[in-house]
């Protein structure tokens, strides 16, 4: 079974989903990501889904759940590069991913994570 | 038509084609449904002569009463193109159908002369002519309506395309001025073109201006919310602007809420807010 690689970039984790997600793969990603957040003491997670063309309700819920889990562990999740068709599908399915931050591309997503991290450091 | 007794119609048509054409034209010109402003007499004469020629050929065949057969193919094609062109010119269906129906009068007169003494034959011949011309008339009206519906459908599609422009107002700021009622199919088009422009231009802020939307009910609000949610999923902020006082009142009375979406009264307010979000500021130049 192939695995989705998780890269570490400074205080953030980077996940690029480049294959069609099936349910088992999604569950494995959820396990790996949560344990990596704890292990690496990550402060943010960036999930790039710019090559994801097909999405279902399970996938949408999973993204939302991952975001809620990482937030509980102290890391914000930002989903970047969603295709218009995928966005329309998720909205039609009634999933608005309240827990997830979104950005147009990886660059802007990184900027968002950095600014949120700085804001939370200042608040401390 | 009883078998063994040949119809006199082809003979009549062949013998006095010119006279019938003249009488038929006179009939058409006298009819109150004729539109001289839309169709010159010369064109009408040319069309009538052509139709009469095709009609003579087809009625002389073995199956004169069944206009669905191949024999009538040319007549059908001619009538189809005629009603299409008349639909485009702006004729009404009855005006178009009169073209065929007015041929009855000159033919009936001729038949009466030929069968003056044979009532049974006259009845049979009249029945043939009436059936055929009625069928052709109905066919003409139907083709006319199909052509008209085609025109309406095309206009509707063009209106949909034209009424959803996405404008780039600043680097990273898009505006979508909506004009007309928002139904499900339009929302779909609006959503798709907005999301596509967001990707193409890499814009993070989109202003949806509803000044041109006549009424906002729960359904329209839901459609707007869907569009905003989809844009958010892609990573863009949406601002809804152009909410008139009446619409604000109606929305509160209906219990429609836009939640935490930023709403502004005018496009200018929305643009100012967008500048703030983007970290831009507009200042008056020092004199």
Max mean pLDDT range (A92-96, A112-116, B127-131, B158-162): A112-116
Q: What does the block give as tokens for B77?
A: 């094609």
**CA A29 and chain centroid, separation:** 10
Q: One digit per residue, pLDDT tens: chain B, 287 residues?
A: 444 456 777 888 878 888 888 888 888 887 766 666 777 788 888 888 888 888 888 887 776 777 778 888 888 888 888 888 888 887 888 888 888 888 888 888 888 888 888 888 888 888 888 888 888 888 888 888 888 888 888 888 887 777 678 889 999 999 999 888 777 778 888 888 899 999 999 899 999 998 888 878 788 888 888 889 999 999 999 999 998 888 888 888 888 777 788 999 999 999 999 999 999 988 899 87
Q: What does the block give as tokens for B254?
A: 């209906």
**B191 Cβ under 8 Å from any chain A Cβ:** yes
- Report the pLDDT value the prediction gives residue B190, as an integer from 0 to 100: 85
Alpha-carbon distance of B177 to A82, in angstroms, equals 24
Q: Beta partners for A7?
A: A14
Please identify, in words, the CATH class of the domain defined by B9-159.
mainly alpha
Three-state SS at A73: coil
The CATH code that applies to domain A6-123 is 3.30.750.24
Positive or negative, the Cα torsion across B127, B133, B139, B145?
Answer: negative
For A3, A77, A103, B14, the CA distances from B21, given in Å and listed in that order, are 84, 83, 75, 11
Alpha-carbon distance of A14 to A78, in angstroms, equals 10
**B79 Cβ under 8 Å from any chain A Cβ:** no
**Pairwise CB contact (< 8 Å): A82 & B202:** no
Alpha-carbon distance of B16 to B125, in angstroms, equals 17
Write down the pTM of the prediction. 0.63
User: Which of B172, B227, B235, B279 has the most A C-beta neighbours within 10 Å, making it the best mutation to test the interface with A?
Assistant: B235
Closest CA to B226 of A100, A95, A98: A95
**What is the number of other CB atoms lying within 10 angstroms of the CB of residue B259?**
8
Alpha-carbon distance of A34 to A13, in angstroms, equals 11
B118-126 long-range contacts (CB < 8 A, ≥24 apart) are B121/B5, B121/B8, B124/B1, B124/B2, B125/B1, B125/B7, B125/B8, B125/B9
**Pairwise CB contact (< 8 Å): A104 & B199:** yes
Whether B84 contacts B17, CB under 8 Å: no
**B219 Cβ under 8 Å from any chain A Cβ:** no
**pLDDT for A78 beyond 60:** yes
Three-state SS at A15: strand
Whether A120 contacts A89, CB under 8 Å: no
- Report the pLDDT value the prediction gives residue B236, as an integer from 0 to 100: 92
Whether A4 contacts A39, CB under 8 Å: no
Alpha-carbon distance of A113 to B128, in angstroms, equals 84
- Report the pLDDT value the prediction gives residue B34, as an integer from 0 to 100: 64
Q: What does the block give as tokens for B171?
A: 């680097």
**Pairwise CB contact (< 8 Å): A104 & B233:** no
**Pairwise CB contact (< 8 Å): A104 & B196:** no
Report which of residues A80 and B58 the model is more confident about. A80
Sort out which chain A residues have CB atoms less than 8 A from B222's CB and list them. none
**B75 Cβ under 8 Å from any chain A Cβ:** no
- Report the pLDDT value the prediction gives residue A46, as an integer from 0 to 100: 95
Q: What does the block give as tokens for A30?
A: 């959820």
- Report the pLDDT value the prediction gives residue B181, as an integer from 0 to 100: 79
Tell me if ipTM is over 0.85: no
**Chain B residue closest to A84 (CA)?**
B195
- Report the pLDDT value the prediction gives residue A1, as an integer from 0 to 100: 58
**Pairwise CB contact (< 8 Å): B199 & A96:** no
**B229 Cβ under 8 Å from any chain A Cβ:** yes
- Report the pLDDT value the prediction gives residue B4, as an integer from 0 to 100: 42
Closest CA to B141 of B102, B88, B84, B89: B84
Alpha-carbon distance of A1 to A25, in angstroms, equals 8
Q: Where in chain B is the domain with CATH 1.10.490.130?
A: 9-159
A-B contacts (CB, under 8 Å): 55
**A93 Cβ under 8 Å from any chain B Cβ:** no
User: Which of A88, A93, A107, A108 has the most B C-beta neighbours within 10 Å, making it the best mutation to test the interface with B?
Assistant: A88
Q: Which of A92, A96, A104 sits opposite B234 (nearest CB)?
A: A104
Domain ranges of chain A: 6-123
Concatenate the DSSP letters of all residues of B173-186 into one string: EEEEEEES---HHH
% of residues, chain A, pLDDT over 70: 99
For B104, B131, B199, B277, the CA distances from B137, given in Å and listed in that order, are 11, 10, 54, 66
- Please, what is the average pLDDT of chain A? 89
Pairing status of strand A12-16 against strand A6-9:
antiparallel
Is B167-278 CATH 3.40.50.1820?
no
């Amino acid at each position: 079974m192939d695995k989705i690689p998780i890269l570490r970039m400074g205080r953030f984790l980077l996940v690029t989903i480049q294959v069609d997600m099936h349910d088992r793969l999604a569950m494995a990603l959820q396990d790996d990501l949560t344990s990596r957040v704890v292990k690496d003491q990550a402060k943010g997670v960036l999930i790039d889904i710019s090559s994801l063309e097909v999405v279902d309700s399970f996938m949408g819920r999973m993204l939302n759940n991952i975001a809620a889990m990482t937030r509980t562990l102290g890391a914000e999740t930002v989903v970047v590069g969603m295709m218009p068709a995928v966005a329309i599908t998720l909205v039609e399915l009634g999933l608005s991913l309240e827990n997830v931050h979104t950005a147009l591309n990886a660059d802007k997503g990184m900027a968002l994570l950095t600014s949120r991290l700085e804001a939370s450091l200042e608040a401390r | 038509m009883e078998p063994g007794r040949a119809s006199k119609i082809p003979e009549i048509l062949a013998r006095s084609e010119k006279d019938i054409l003249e009488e038929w034209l006179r009939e058409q010109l006298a009819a109150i449904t004729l539109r001289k402003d839309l169709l010159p007499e010369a064109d009408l004469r040319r069309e009538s002569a052509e139709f009469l020629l095709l009609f003579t050929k087809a009625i002389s065949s073995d199956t004169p009463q069944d206009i669905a057969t191949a024999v009538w193919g040319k007549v059908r094609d001619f009538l189809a193109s005629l009603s299409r062109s008349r639909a485009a010119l702006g004729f009404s269906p009855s005006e178009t159908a009169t073209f065929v129906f007015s041929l009855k009068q000159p033919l009936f007169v001729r038949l009466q002369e030929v069968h003056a003494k044979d009532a049974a034959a006259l009845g049979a011949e009249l029945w043939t002519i009436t059936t055929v011309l009625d069928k052709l008339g109905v066919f003409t009206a139907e083709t006319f309506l199909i052509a008209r519906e085609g025109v309406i459908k095309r206009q509707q599609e063009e209106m949909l395309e034209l009424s959803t422009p996405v404008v780039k107002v600043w680097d990273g700021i898009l505006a979508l001025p909506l004009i007309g009622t928002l139904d499900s199919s339009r929302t779909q088009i609006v959503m798709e073109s907005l999301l596509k422009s967001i990707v193409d231009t890499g814009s993070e802020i989109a202003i949806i201006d509803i000044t041109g939307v006549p009424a906002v009910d729960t359904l329209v609000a839901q459609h707007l919310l869907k569009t905003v949610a989809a844009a958010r999923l892609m990573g863009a902020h949406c601002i809804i602007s152009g909410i008139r006082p009446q619409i604000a009142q109606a929305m509160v009375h209906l219990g429609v809420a836009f939640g935490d979406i930023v709403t502004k009264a005018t496009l200018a307010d929305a643009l100012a807010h967008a500048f703030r979000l983007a970290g831009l500021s507009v200042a008056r130049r020092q004199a």
